Amino acid sequence: MEWNKVIEWIIPVITAVIGGLIAIFQMRQNIKLTARLKWKEEFRVRLNDFINSAKKLHHSSIIARLRENELSETKLFLDKVSDFDAAFYALDLLLFENDERVKDLIMYRDKIRENSTKESTDDKDYLLYFYYLAKDLYNDKSFVSNSLK
């Protein structure tokens, strides 16, 4: 008879503990999912800013070359270079540094910046490579998880 009483008391306690553990696990999963979604949104915004600044840099370099003697165009170009770098560094802050693909992104960024000062450029190709690599990183669940650590 006493065992029945003990079992009556233990089963609800065990059930409550298991329910609590499941709730904690679900809460942790929700926090991770929320963080991952927030990271992805931030990454998308910063990638968009970077691509826009790369295009503006490219266009302002063309204008600066056409009007070489105008100081205002040179200043505009230097402002665009500064915006370009700032946009990349904002994006870089979100990235997990120990990934080879991040090093490739940096290489493409350097190529885009370098080509912006040349007469004939293949900026669009490097920008496209940069975009596809960034898209690959964006869709890589393990990369996103590592970037959140």
- Its pTM stands at 0.76
Q: What is the pLDDT of residues 123-134, one digit of tens each?
A: 568 889 999 999
Domain boundaries, the chain: 39-148
Residues 106-128 have a mean pLDDT of 78
C-alpha span between 100 and 10 (Å, rounded): 53
- pLDDT recorded at residue 124: 62
Residue percentage of the chain with pLDDT more than 70: 89
Q: Is the pLDDT of residue 122 over 60?
A: no
Please name which of 47, 43, 23, 51 lies closest in space to residue 148, comparing C-alpha atoms.
Answer: 43
